[in-house]
Amino acid sequence: MTASVLAAGVVEETVRAFFQGLPIGAGFALVAMSFVLTYKTSGVFNLAFGAQAFISAATYFELHVRRDWPIWSAVLVAVVLVAPALGLLLERLVFRHVHAASAVAKLVISLGLMVALPELFKLIVDYNREQPFGAVGIIPDGTTVYRLFGRYPVTRDEIAAFVIVVAAAVALAALFRYTRFGLRIRAVVQSPRMTELNGVNADWVSSGSWMLSSFFAGLAGVLLVPTTSSLGTVLEPQGYFPIVISALAAAALGRLVNLPAALFGGLALGIVTTQMRTHVPRDNVILAELQGPALPYVMLFAIIVFWPAIRRQVAGADPLLGVSPPPPALAATSRSRGMTIYTRIMALAFFTAVGIWTFGYANNFWISRITHSVIFSIIFLSIVVFTGLGGQIALCQVTFAAIGAFGAMQFAQRWDISVIVGMVAGAAIAAAVGAVLSIPVMRLGGIWLAIATLAFALFFHDVLVKYSWVGGSLFHGRGVPRPEFFGVDFSSRENFLILCVAILVLVGVLIILIRESSTGMALRALRGSETAAESIGVVSWRSRVIVFSVSAAIAAIGGGLLAMEERLVGYESNYDPQTGLFWLVIVVVLGARTVEGGVQAGVAFVIFPELVLDRWLGLHGAWRYVLFGFAAISFARHPEGLLEHGKRRSQALMQRAFGRRQPAMAAAGAGEPADSGTETGGEP
Amino acid sequence: MAARFWKLALILAALALVASACGNAGNDDEGGAPATTAAPAAPEEPDDEPAPEEADDEPAPAPEEAGDDEPAPDGEPEAEPEPEEPKEPEHRHTFVPISGVPGVNDSEIKVTSIVTISNNALGTNIAAYNDGIEAYFNYINDTGGIYGRELVLANKRDDQLFSNQAESLAMVEEDDSLAAFVATLLFFGADTLNDAGVPVFGWNIHNEFADRWNIVGNIAPSCIGCIHQLFPWVATQVGATKVGIFGYGNSENSKICAEGTRDSVEHYSAEAGGMTVEFFDTSIEFGLAGGVAPQVSEMKDKGVDFIFTCLDLNGMRTIAQELVKQDYRDQVTMYHPNTYNHEFVAANADLFEGDLVFVQFVPFEAEIDSELQRRFFEYTEGLKLEEQTIVGWLNAHLFYDGLLAAGPEFDRASLMEAVRSFEDYSHDGLTNPIDWNRQIPLPNDNIDADYEYRCVNGVQVQDGAFVQWTGEPGKPWLCWETVRTDWHDPEALTFVG
């Protein structure tokens, strides 16, 4: 075969891959532009996009496929009515009240909505009464195939998606650039208060922009169904997750504000994917990974870390925000001595009662549940360190927990070394990974740090965990023993619970020591202003590395203990990255600033669904996601956490009742906190 | 500096001491009641018998010789017997008061199911498993129950995908069921149930069904990565010579399955008319967000005419859609391991026309002379039949047969002893016969733990419906003797009777 024939073959394959990549890229672009649109019109990095898209697509499915409505009427309801109405509801009930909140706070709220909205929708319409097979697109005969230039096949659905994407990009760019409404949207996002000073009704503009962005999410939802393989078979909200993650890389190219960049980024991602799958050999493990699961995560991480525009990006902050008061002090720091003693006596009595019941009366199921809640408290304390002390959001704590679990398993199974040593080694490995991870993301803050850590978590989940040196082998078991320690056998549930409680106490004390140490003070200073902190001698990189490492190690210790408790590494049920998103939501909702908050989150995560939802109320487990998801809305208003907020309120009431109200309490009890409101300085 | 060094040295020494004081506790967990029945040791791996794939060098026994010791199950042509009413054991209706057996009172024998109902994104209706159990229990209860009692599926637990260990422990602690019926996408509660001595009957898609005395499935533990004549043989039946293979890269099970298929085709390449593996891809991911267009183009360029996969419904549909789009669908046949779903196939009739779908039970389309099959259709009338429906039915049947064999003074231990005593158990011909006493570990490197015959049942998609493809009327199974690794055609068999 001559060189020219070979070259012609390569050219032909390249052109073919280009046209194969365009429809995939159009899907990515559609989602990326939706991210950009929402961010531009609301300042919200809307991870709930997939949830909004799902609701429109599922509504269309309910009406057209299950109830035989004509396409046009089903589209009218699902996209033109339901989607904007959902946007309006979200704006009126949720986001209108968090205008001044930091981007991080809005991210947490969108995470809560991502968890809650699909579950609520499914419960309301009894969506899973039968399998949601047979979802179709909104284009009649959408699977009809045409051939570009007589040889490159493309379906009518794909053509429609591509045309709509390009048209939407042009229309939206024109809207923002040339219309008064577009200008007002941007102004309201920057500062609703200043915009209102100019006579613009910021509320109406905000409502309109949310309706627009939600309409676009709904449109994307139905358009993606026939062209996205993860949606067409069974229409479930999880199906949007892979494409949302891939599209994040495209949206990041445009720093979440540039629509044309998102469009071209999405198309480019699709084309790069098919070019790699066409030209890169699959018999090399690393190259094969890059064609498959790893590619979107590697690209996302690389863009966030290396794209100069993202490093330079400074979030627009409301200039009037500075007049807002700082977040309130913790209730424990401002209560009277008598109240402190009373609180401690009550706590002691409570824990004594729980201890007596646990060791005297509880059966193995409840001992196991309590042990789980203690272990999850330890894991959640890693979020307290990272988010409560460090003021940042990381979405990879679940990965560090998994590293701890696999560490314990590998040491015990592979080398027959004590599982406790394995757990400690796992914690050390996690700390090292955390330290290494902290270096490239050092200068990132807010949502970019969150997304970068999510990319890392997904990379671990889809790429690394399948290797036997990480996740063990399916065929050699994943069993994990319980430890024996200085002659004490912890194989019984009671003894193991005692060990877990002891470790929880140790970790709690460690966190309090860190909080009160120079590192803790440095973190507080960094959270306020990194530049100012550095000007007084705080070494920011060192503090960030410490926070990453310590929180990773704590999560890994929890993961190791969880593996010992369950006698196996239940990776799929405990350490999925989407599970990790829910962890973050529940911790920040209940209180990420204190050790108490982490412990209460651990108890709520395990005990609440079992005891309250299932046994007392007889509700389906999905309500857990609905309740805690919607509770995340409170985060912007009560960044100290709901329990801390409630504690402060009840403390104020009690002190008032006892006539010993102090000035400090008056401020703490009555004052409604506001958020610090900077991109990197969210105040969880 | 020196002080720091000594501090570090002290810390390291302390850590070393701690490490030396640490160990792993034994497995004598209290975690529930101790196992009531000690699991017998796995059969010793025979030193003098080669594993199937290692037996190439030795001449394989001729079919007649191999069948000398044990007559092949109904392999010879014979006249179709008249259907007979099943013989009812005399003691079936003997009532004996029992106390202290969980879930058993004077009128009922209660069981619990643990099923993935919520958070199941695979598209399979696993909840139909409960329908199968209840249908079987209705059948037994309508005919008088057993030991003067009715069979009752008293608790239906939804493991919500991630909490089957907790649900298993809750079931153990509530102690109000004789046995557990499990159909979950993950099975992390296996040891909890097994260690507590709870008899478990389940949908065997997990390795946890191996090496656990108290856990049995609709099929026995089997080897998904072993070399098997089936793959190349099936491809030869449609005249294929060039195959492509897909597996998910982020699923170890799927990857091993794909590798086993590739090895099988390559192993029997010469005998299968020079069949070659032209395309092999285990880099794709769940969801297939990036599509498979380049892979399909590559297969088309290479002339692949048969595609094996180890994928789920979504993967199959995605590949088929791309085949249609590239005008290549008519030139290739696909092998489906997980697509026996009537609703799904009907909804995608054009995509799967002519494809072959394989199952591990006699499909609904193949009528055999089986009383159990007749009763299945009778008692599931009006239900939407799924693969999980018949799995539940088969599990319930094994449970019932175990109770019958255990006698009227049964308990959990005697129930499992009875089940494990079944040496040729085919669910009245609906499954490949299992020796429950022998088939306990995974048979990957242990032919003694494998089926006597490796059998499959296949259907073909025609106009959105399934049509029996394997075997012949009344004999739907296609079987290869496990000890024979030479290339040979399978036998059409039935295991009824």
Distance CA A274, CA A269 (A): 9
Q: What are the start-end ranges of the H helices in A518-594?
A: 518-528, 530-535, 540-566, 571-574, 577-590
Task: Kindly compute the dihedral angle of the four CA atoms of residues A94, A100, A101, A102, in this order, to the nearest 10 degrees.
Answer: 140
A415 pLDDT above the threshold of 80: yes
Contact A483 B256 (CB under 8 A): no
**Strand order through the sheet with A488-489:** A488-489, A483-485, B22-24
Q: Report residue A320's pLDDT band, with 50, 70 and 90 as the boundaries.
A: very low
Site from B18, B22, B176 to mutate, A interface, most A CB atoms within 10 angstroms? B22
B382 pLDDT above the threshold of 60: yes
**Burial (CB count <10 Å: 0-12, 13-18, 19+), residue A536:** exposed
Distance CA A360, CA A366 (A): 12
pLDDT at B12: 55
Closest-CA residue of B relative to A483 is B24
The answer to whether residue B70 is domain-embedded is no
Provide the residue range defining the domain that includes B242.
Answer: 230-359+473-493
Distance CA B460, CA A83 (A): 42
Helices A446-459 & A397-414 angle (0-180, nearest 10): 30
Residue range(s) of every CATH 1.10.3470 domain in chain A = 10-315, 365-670
Mean pLDDT of B452-472: 94
A107-129 pLDDT, tens digit per residue, is 888 888 988 999 899 989 888 77
- Measured in angstroms, the CA of A391 and the nearest CA of chain B are apart by 31
Q: Collapsing DSSP states into helix, strand and coil, what is residue A648? A: helix
Greater model confidence, A395 or A96: A395
Give the list of residues 6+ apart from residue A327 with CB closer than 8 angstroms, or none: A639, A640, A673, A674, A675, A676, A683
A533-557 pLDDT, tens digit per residue, is 777 777 777 888 998 999 999 999 9
Mean pLDDT of A73-87: 94
Mean pLDDT for chain B overall: 84
Asked if A209 contacts A74 with a C-beta cutoff of 8 angstroms, the reply is no
Specify the DSSP class assigned to residue B112: E
Mean pLDDT for chain A overall: 83
The reply to whether B379 and B434 lie within a common domain is yes
The reply to whether B274 and B408 lie within a common domain is no
The answer to whether residue B75 is domain-embedded is no
Of A291, A365, A417, the CB nearest to B283: A291
Of A239, A365, A477, the CB nearest to B173: A365
B241-286 pLDDT, tens digit per residue, is 999 999 987 777 888 899 999 999 999 999 999 999 999 998 887 7
Q: Is B427 left (phi over 0), alpha (psi -120 to 50) or beta?
A: left
Of B21, B30, B321, the CB nearest to A486: B21
pLDDT at B398: 97
Give the list of residues 6+ apart from residue B229 with CB closer than 8 angstroms, or none: B264, B268, B480, B485, B487, B488, B490
The answer to whether residue B282 is domain-embedded is yes
Strand partners, B245: B280, B308
- Measured in angstroms, the CA of A141 and the nearest CA of chain B are apart by 13
Distance CA B45, CA B263 (A): 23
Written as six digits, the tokens of A593 are 């600033």
Q: Report residue A436's pLDDT band, with 50, 70 and 90 as the boundaries.
A: very high
Asked if B457 contacts B364 with a C-beta cutoff of 8 angstroms, the reply is no
Written as six digits, the tokens of B5 are 């060094």
Which one of A183-197, A237-251, A440-454, B134-148 scores highest in mean pLDDT? B134-148
Written as six digits, the tokens of A498 are 């005692």
Site from B117, B283, B318, B386 to mutate, A interface, most A CB atoms within 10 angstroms? B283
Is residue B121 within 8 angstroms of chain A, CB to CB? Answer: yes
Cβ contacts (< 8 Å) between B340 and chain A: which residues?
none
Contact A131 B343 (CB under 8 A): yes
Contact B285 A474 (CB under 8 A): no
* A224 CB-side CA count, 13 A: 41
- In order of A26, A594, B332, the CA distances from A389 in angstroms are 41, 9, 59
Strand partners, B343: none
pLDDT at B73: 39
A643 pLDDT above the threshold of 50: yes
B142 pLDDT above the threshold of 80: yes
Of B25, B30, B164, the CB nearest to A481: B25
- Measured in angstroms, the CA of B270 and the nearest CA of chain A are apart by 24
The answer to whether residue B342 is domain-embedded is yes
**Burial (CB count <10 Å: 0-12, 13-18, 19+), residue B448:** middle
Asked if A642 contacts A634 with a C-beta cutoff of 8 angstroms, the reply is yes
Written as six digits, the tokens of A632 are 């995340």
- Residue contacts between A and B (CB atoms, under 8 Å): 223
- The closest alpha carbon to A37, from A169, A134, A149, belongs to A169
Q: Residue B266, Cβ neighbours under 10 Å: how many?
A: 16
The reply to whether B235 and B352 lie within a common domain is yes
Indicate the fold that domain A10-315 takes in CATH.
ABC transporter involved in vitamin B12 uptake, BtuC (1.10.3470)
B182 pLDDT above the threshold of 90: yes
The reply to whether B139 and B240 lie within a common domain is no
The reply to whether B107 and B122 lie within a common domain is yes
Cβ contacts (< 8 Å) between A421 and chain B: which residues?
19, 22
- Measured in angstroms, the CA of B396 and the nearest CA of chain A are apart by 24
Pairing of strands B150-158, B108-115: parallel
Q: Residue B478, Cβ neighbours under 10 Å: how many?
A: 26
Closest-CA residue of B relative to A472 is B252
Q: Collapsing DSSP states into helix, strand and coil, what is residue B183? A: strand
Greater model confidence, B370 or B69: B370
A477 pLDDT above the threshold of 70: no
- In order of A389, A526, B143, the CA distances from A452 in angstroms are 20, 20, 63
- The closest alpha carbon to B292, from B242, B334, B347, belongs to B334
Distance CA A402, CA A413 (A): 16
Asked if A510 contacts A384 with a C-beta cutoff of 8 angstroms, the reply is no
Greater model confidence, A114 or A316: A114
Distance CA B217, CA B206 (A): 10
Cβ contacts (< 8 Å) between A477 and chain B: which residues?
207
pLDDT at A143: 87
Helices B252-267 & B230-237 angle (0-180, nearest 10): 70
Which one of A246-255, B43-52, B85-94, B184-193 scores highest in mean pLDDT? B184-193
B residues 205-234 near A, CB within 8 Å?
Answer: 207
Written as six digits, the tokens of B486 are 């030479």
Backbone angles phi, psi at A91, to 5 degrees: -65, -50
A431 pLDDT above the threshold of 60: yes
A126-170 pLDDT, tens digit per residue, is 887 777 777 888 899 988 999 988 889 999 999 998 999 999 889
Q: What are the start-end ranges of the H helices in A254-336?
A: 259-279, 285-291, 294-306, 308-312, 331-334
The reply to whether B322 and B305 lie within a common domain is yes
Cβ contacts (< 8 Å) between A282 and chain B: which residues?
280-281, 283
Of A230, A363, A492, the CB nearest to B287: A230
pLDDT at B218: 96
Written as six digits, the tokens of B191 are 């040891």
Closest-CA residue of B relative to A461 is B250
Cβ contacts (< 8 Å) between A20 and chain B: which residues?
291, 293-294, 297
pLDDT at B57: 38
**Burial (CB count <10 Å: 0-12, 13-18, 19+), residue A608:** middle
**CATH code where residue B279 lies:** 3.40.50.2300
The answer to whether residue B457 is domain-embedded is no
Closest-CA residue of A relative to B327 is A153
The reply to whether B241 and B330 lie within a common domain is yes
- The closest alpha carbon to A422, from A546, A564, A570, belongs to A564
Distance CA B98, CA B110 (A): 13
- The closest alpha carbon to A555, from A438, A655, A423, belongs to A423
The reply to whether B192 and B265 lie within a common domain is no
B residues 281-300 near A, CB within 8 Å?
Answer: 281-291, 293-295, 297-298
The answer to whether residue B456 is domain-embedded is no
Angle, alpha carbons A606-A610-A616 (nearest 5°): 140
Backbone angles phi, psi at A526, to 5 degrees: -65, -35
Q: Collapsing DSSP states into helix, strand and coil, what is residue A285? A: helix
Residue B221's identity, in one-letter code, is: P
Say whether domain A365-670 belongs to CATH 1.10.3470.
yes
pLDDT at A1: 57
B201-226 pLDDT, tens digit per residue, is 999 988 899 999 999 999 999 888 88
Mean pLDDT of B436-463: 91
Of B21, B27, B169, the CB nearest to A365: B169
The reply to whether B96 and B186 lie within a common domain is yes
Distance CA B306, CA B326 (A): 16
Is residue B382 within 8 angstroms of chain A, CB to CB? Answer: no
A683 pLDDT above the threshold of 80: no
Task: Kindly compute the dihedral angle of the four CA atoms of residues B213, B219, B220, B225, in this order, to the nearest 10 degrees.
Answer: -140
Mean pLDDT of A402-415: 90
Of B32, B284, B287, the CB nearest to A239: B287
The reply to whether B279 and B333 lie within a common domain is yes
The reply to whether B349 and B477 lie within a common domain is yes
Distance CA A449, CA A395 (A): 9
Q: Report residue B43's pLDDT band, with 50, 70 and 90 as the boundaries.
A: very low
Distance CA A426, CA A434 (A): 12
- The closest alpha carbon to A399, from A633, A611, A212, A581, belongs to A581
Residue B2's identity, in one-letter code, is: A
A599 pLDDT above the threshold of 60: yes
A325-375 pLDDT, tens digit per residue, is 455 667 777 777 777 888 889 889 998 999 999 999 999 999 999 999 999
Greater model confidence, A416 or A43: A416
The number of distinct structural domains making up chain B is 2
Distance CA A331, CA A340 (A): 10
Is residue B118 within 8 angstroms of chain A, CB to CB? Answer: yes
The reply to whether B214 and B234 lie within a common domain is no
A183 pLDDT above the threshold of 60: yes
Contact A365 B283 (CB under 8 A): no
- Measured in angstroms, the CA of A454 and the nearest CA of chain B are apart by 18
Pairing of strands B200-202, B276-284: unpaired
Is residue B344 within 8 angstroms of chain A, CB to CB? Answer: yes
